[in-house]
Structure 1
Amino acid sequence: MLKKFIAVFLSIFLCQVAYAGGVSLGATRIIYPISANQVTLKVYNSDEKRNYLVQSWVTNSVDKKTNDFIITPPLFVIKADTNNVLRVVFTGNKDNLPKDRESLFYLYSKVIPSTADLNSNQSALLISTTSKIKLFMRPSNLTVEEAMESYKKLKCSYQNNQIKIENPTPFYMNLVTLRVNNKEVSNAVMIPPMDSAQVKTTEKGNALIFNMISDYGAQIKDNSCAL
C-alpha cells in the first residue's frame, strides 16, 4: 500500500499528485416536510476518470450524530462521470418534533478518492473531503410560499454597538452579505425560528441590507430591515 500513495501526514513536498474530490451534492439544503415518508438528494461525480467512495450521515442541531434518520445507501462507490441518489428517511418519533416551527439537522457526505488508478511507482496525496448541508424538518402546515416571504417579517434594532435581528417566523432564516451604509458588517447569520441574533458593528445607518437564502439555495438579494 505504501507504494501506491504517501499518507497525508507526510510532507506535501514529497507528493507528485494531489487528488481532490470531483463529487458534489445536488442541493445546498434539504427541506423535509414532516408528513413525507422520505426525501432524496442527488450526488454527482464530475470527474471523468476516477471513482470515489461516499459515506453519509445526519447530525442534530448541535452536530451530534443522530439515529433518527436512515440514509440509503449510507456507503457506496460513485463511478466516474455518473450520479447517484441518496434517500433520507426520518425514523424518529415525529411527535417529538415542534409543530409550530422548523427543526434543524445537518447532512454530511464524506468523499474518499480511489487508489485504483494509481500505479505502483506514483506518489500522491489522497484528500478526503466532507460536505455539510442543512436539513430542515418542516411541519406540514408551513408552506413554501410562506418561507419565501418570511424575511419581510424580520425586525432590526441597533444598540450597544450591535444590531439585533429578530425572527418572529416559524422558519430558520439564513442571511448573507449583511451591510450597513454599503459596508459589510457580517458575512452570514442564521436565525432560529422565533429567536434573534446579534451582529457586532460600530457602523450606524437607517437600514440593514441583506441577501436571504431561499429553500432552493438561491439568494433573494438586497432586502432591507429598518434600524
Structure 2
Amino acid sequence: MFVQDCVRNFGLVVVLMSVSVASNASVTLSGTRAVYPGDAREITVDMTNQNDTPALIQAWLDSGDPAVAPGVEELPFIITPPLTRIEPKEGQTLRIAYTGEPLPNDKESVYWLNVLEIPAKKKDVEGKNVMRMAFRSRIKLFYRPVGLHGTIYDAAKAITWSMVKDTDHYVLRATNDSPYHTSISGVKLESAGKEYNNKNGGMISPMASKDYPLTDSPGPLKSGTITFRWLNDFGIAQTQVTKLK
C-alpha cells in the first residue's frame, strides 16, 4: 500500500487520523462535498497544501465503508492522479471521471472521496524514528442523474416528520420521498412548551426514512413544530421549519 511505501521510504511511524473535512490536515479540499452531474465528462476537486513542507497524497473512492482499502472496490469512477506530491503552499487538482457503468437514473447515488495526506519528513530528523500524523479526509460525492424531479431545496421542504415507537421509546422519523440525498445536521422538536433535540443529525437516502432519537425521550406526540438544519451542495447549512405529521 501507499502508506507502507511511505513508511519504508521516509522512515516514518505513521498514525492515521480520519476526519470528515481537513480541519487538522495541512492539505485542504475545495469543498466539503462534490456533486457529479450525470451529463458531465468529469468534475474536479482542488487541493491546497497550506504547510511549509511537501505532502504526499493518495486519493480514492469508497461506497461508504471507511475501512475498505484503496482499490478493493470496483466503482464506476476514475481519479487522476491517484498518487501525487504537493509542494509547500501549492495546489493540485483531482479529476474524477464517470466510466459509464450503469447507475440508477431515478435517484442520486453517493460515494465517498478519500484524500490521505502524509507530511514529508523534515531534514532535521534524518536518521531518526519520528511519529508523523497521516490525515485522511473524507467528503461525500453525489452522482446526480440528468432529469431528476425538483431540486435539493424542494427535497428538504418535502421531508415529512412523525413520531414512531422504537422498542420502549419514541423517535422522530424523517421520510424523504425525493430522488435526492438530504444531509441533516440537527433537529429540534417543540411541542406543548417543551423542546427536544437531536444534534447528531445524519443523511437521509432518496426514497427512504431515517430515525432520529431525541433528548428526554418524548412520548407519542401528535403535534409540534420541527426545525431542522440541512446542508446544500456547497456544504452551507440551511434552516427549514415544518410541522409534525
Normalised to the residue count of structure 1, the TM-score between the two structures is 0.84
Residue in structure 1 matching 2:209, options 196, 199, 212: 196
Per-residue deviation at 1:97?
A: 1.1
| In 2: Cα distance, 1:174 partner to 1:32 partner | 17
1:156 and 2:161 are equivalent in the alignment = yes
Please say if 1:128 is aligned against 2:100.
Answer: no
Give the alignment of 1:84-103 within 5 angstroms: 84-93=92-101, 96-103=102-109
Q: Distance in 1 between matches of 2:61 and 2:14?
A: 26
Of 25-34 and 62-71, more deviation after overlay is shown by: 62-71
Q: Which residue of 1 aligns with 2:4?
A: none
Q: Residue 61 of structure 2 corresponds to which residue in structure 1? A: 58
Counterpart residue type for residue 220 of structure 1: Q
Partner of residue 33 from structure 2, selected from 29, 34, 51? 29
Is 1:224 the counterpart of 2:241? The answer is yes
Task: Report the Cα offset of residue 92 of structure 1.
Answer: 3.9
Residue 176 of structure 1 contacts residue 188 of structure 1 at CA under 8 Å; is this kept in 2? yes
Shift of 1:74: 0.6
Distance in structure 2 (CA, Å) of the matches to 1:21 and 1:151: 32
Q: Distance in 2 between matches of 1:219 and 1:117?
A: 43
Identity of aligned residues (%): 26
Q: What letter is aligned with 1:147?
A: I
Aligned to 2:125: 119
Please state how far the C-alpha of 1:62 moved relative to its aligned partner.
Answer: 4.8
1:180 matched to which residue of 2? 189
RMSD of equivalent CA atoms: 2.4
Secondary structure class of the residue paired with 1:148:
helix
Corresponding residue for 1:17? none
Q: Once the 2 structures are TM-superposed, how far is the Cα of residue 207 of structure 1 from its aligned partner?
A: 2.0
Letter in 1 for 2:90: T
- Indicate the residue corresponding to 1:76 in structure 2: 84
Q: CA deviation at 1:208?
A: 2.2
Q: 1:140 to 1:50 in 2, by over 3 A?
A: same
- Equivalent in 161, 170, 181 of residue 179 of structure 2: 170
Structure 1: state its 5+ residue gaps. Answer: 10-19
CA distance in structure 2 between the aligned counterparts of 1:109 and 1:6, rounded to whole angstroms: 19
Q: What is the TM-score of this pair, normalised by structure 2?
A: 0.78
Q: Deviations over 1:94-140 (max 9, x none)?
A: xx211111011111110011014333376642110101111111011
Letter in 2 for 1:165: A
Q: Deviations over 1:186-226 (max 9, x none)?
A: 412110001100112313560221111001111112x1231
Structure 2: gaps of 5 or more residues: 1-6, 16-23
Q: Is the 8 A contact 1:78 1:84 kept in 2?
A: yes
Structure 1 residue 8: Cα displacement: 4.8
Distance 1:68 1:46 in 2: 31
The equivalent of 1:15 in structure 2 is: none
